[in-house]
């Protein structure tokens, strides 16, 4: 029983970290796309 509880907690933390990393990467990708769009419009 203890092992299952520990395993569930570890999986839950892993999911939280994954979602946080994905959201951070989405912000970075959005900034890069805006920068590329500005470069194309400027020319």
Please report the pLDDT score of residue 23 as a whole number.
87
Cα dist. 25→15, 19, 37 in Å?
Answer: 15, 10, 18
Instruction: Say if pTM beats, i.e. exceeds, 0.95.
Output: no
- Is 70 exceeded by the pLDDT of residue 43? no
- The CA distance from 23 to 18, in Å, is 9
**Mean of per-residue pLDDT scores for the chain:** 91
Q: Mean per-residue pLDDT for 3-26?
A: 93
DSSP-assigned letter for residue 43: -
- Is 70 exceeded by the pLDDT of residue 26? yes
């Amino acid at each position: 029983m203890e092992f299952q509880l520990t395993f569930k907690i570890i999986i839950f933390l892993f999911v939280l970290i994954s979602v946080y990393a994905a959201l951070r990467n989405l912000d970075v990708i959005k900034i890069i796309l805006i920068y590329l769009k500005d470069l194309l419009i400027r020319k």
